[in-house]
């Protein structure tokens, strides 16, 4: 009679484990569906311009509060290259595929900054 009691106990333990796992999955789904949402679009940070340097390397100009930050981005790394006070020019964010006037101004600014750094 001992094997029957042990089998019933094992089945009861497995059923309880399955119930707890199902409950956890249901709670995870409910939190994902109805839980707190991530903040949508933040006006505190935006991409001003982007310049592709090669295959996957880019230089990006980002506005954070009242400063512009020049960032170098490659697949394995992101480096802050320079910080500049916010310019008065009204530059709308550009998609990465476009090189509009903002990209040209940024290119000129970057070229001047590099020349100053190298002492030319």
Q: Does pLDDT of 117 surpass 50?
A: yes
Q: What is the number of structural domains in the chain?
A: 2
Tell me what percent of the residues of the chain surpass a pLDDT of 70.
75
65 and 14, same structural domain?
A: no
Mean pLDDT of all residues in 98-102 = 48
Answer whether residue 94 shows pLDDT above 70.
Answer: no
For residue 103, name the pLDDT band (cuts at 50, 70, 90). Answer: low
- pLDDT (0 to 100) of residue 41: 58
Q: Are residues 33 and 58 in the same domain?
A: no
Q: What is the mean pLDDT of the chain?
A: 79
Shared domain for 57 and 80, answered yes or no, is: yes
Nearest to 58, CA basis, from 119, 88, 90, 103: 103
Residue 4 or residue 20, greater confidence: 20
Greater confidence, 56 or 88? 56
Consecutive H or E run containing 93: none
Contact 80, 34 (CB under 8 A): no
Residues 11, 19: contact at Cβ < 8 Å?
A: no
Q: How does residue 17 score in pLDDT terms, banded at 50, 70 and 90?
A: very high
Q: Looking at the predicted structure, is the pLDDT value of residue 93 above 90?
A: no
Q: Does position 97 have pLDDT exceeding 50, yes or no?
A: no
5 and 22 in a single domain? The answer is yes
> What domain range is 21 assigned to?
1-37
pLDDT the model gives residue 65: 81
């Amino acid at each position: 009679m001992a094997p029957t009691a042990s089998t019933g106990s094992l089945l009861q333990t497995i059923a309880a484990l399955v119930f707890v796992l199902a409950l956890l999955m249901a709670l995870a789904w409910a939190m994902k569906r109805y839980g707190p949402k991530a903040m949508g679009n933040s006006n505190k940070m935006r991409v001003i311009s982007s310049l592709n340097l090669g295959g996957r390397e880019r230089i990006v100009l980002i506005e954070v509060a009242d400063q512009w930050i020049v960032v170098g981005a490659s697949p394995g790394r992101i480096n802050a290259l320079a910080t500049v006070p916010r310019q008065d020019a009204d530059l709308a964010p550009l998609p990465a595929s476009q090189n509009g006037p903002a990209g040209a101004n940024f290119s000129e600014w970057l070229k001047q900054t590099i020349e100053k750094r190298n002492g030319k």
